Amino acid sequence: MPRMIDPGDAPAISLDQLTDTLAAARVDARDEDGFASLGPVLAGLGRNRSFLADLAIAELKDRHQRQTVSSYGPQVMLLAADARFVVRANFWPAAGDAVMRASGSAAFFYGFAHDHNFPFLTCGYAGPGYLSDDYVVADDPGERRPGDAVALTSAGRTRLDTGRLMLYRAHRDVHVQHPPEALSISLNILARDPAQPWRDQYEYDIACGRIVRGMTTTASEALVALAVHFGGGNGIDLASDFAARHPSPRMRRTAAAALASVDTVRAHAA
């Protein structure tokens, strides 16, 4: 289950104070205890009851310029980002809210078991908070593929109510989220890593103890298919090199599949 962290009782801080603290922090996010030590700083921002509304109003007046660099969907408001950390606010609609009726529950990651390919701190900021059925991947989270069996241990249920502070570990903590009773907001600090897009996030079948699918894709995976089909010999050579030597297992499989699809097309054309 996610690691519960004591939020402390320090006074509220501003977003600028939080980002200054993160910039000065000598913390390696791969060190669980080190990353957890930043939790009370996030809780301090959570005690600032006006900053998020003030920022939302400023974004609307400025035509949300800050959000144009965000790769997240409309559920997320990007607050700050640097080379090591991302700070964001997540909005969690209730089951009866209009946005849920329009978009469906899957758009908000409700109702299915999934892990994360990055560690993150989360703090309940407003509302009753979403519920999570929590599980832990019991064995070493090495390379996996859809269909692989995974040992999952139930860790109970948590609610991310206002002020609660937790750390989710990459590839180890799995949860099934359920809508809150009313609109809720959480604040996150995400650890940023250049290799993150190549690390798989998975959906799990809890009852069967298996990985259902990989949820991570990159633009490069689409481009390698384009290169193979339309790039001539150069595209084939590049994909062949990727299939043999790319450091990401997912890209190796993607390149191999693209090459196989070209072979199939040629065989039908012959």
Please name every residue paired with 158 in a beta bridge, in sequence order, or none if there are none. Answer: 132
pLDDT of res. 4: 97
Going by the DSSP 8-state scheme, the letter that residue 149 receives in this structure is: B
The three-class DSSP label of residue 29 is coil
pLDDT of res. 261: 81
pLDDT of res. 270: 52
Task: Name the H helices within 9-138.
Answer: 15-24, 32-36, 39-46, 51-61, 98-103
Low-confidence residues of the chain: pLDDT under 70: 63-73, 140-142, 194-198, 217-219, 221, 263-270
- Residue 127, judged by CB atoms within 10 A of its CB (0-12, 13-18, 19+), counts as buried
Could you give the CA distance from residue 25 to residue 145 in angstroms, rounded to a whole number? 35
pLDDT of res. 234: 85
Q: CB-based contacts of 21: which residues, under 8 Å, 6+ apart?
A: 13, 38, 41
State how far the alpha carbon of 189 is from the alpha carbons of 40, 89, 101, 252, 257, in Å: 11, 9, 29, 31, 36
pLDDT of res. 220: 72
Q: State which CATH number among 3.40.50.300, 2.60.120.10, 2.40.10.10, 3.90.105.10 fits the domain covering 3-214.
A: 2.60.120.10
pLDDT of res. 35: 97
Strands in the chain per DSSP E: 3-4, 76-81, 85-92, 113-114, 120-126, 131-137, 152-159, 165-168, 173-178, 184-191, 202-205, 210-214
pLDDT tens across 138-187, in order? 876 667 888 999 999 999 999 999 999 999 999 999 999 999 999 999 99
pLDDT of res. 72: 60
**CB of 175 closer than 8 Å to CB of 133:** yes
pLDDT of res. 192: 85
pLDDT of res. 61: 75
- The domain spans of the chain are 3-214, 219-269
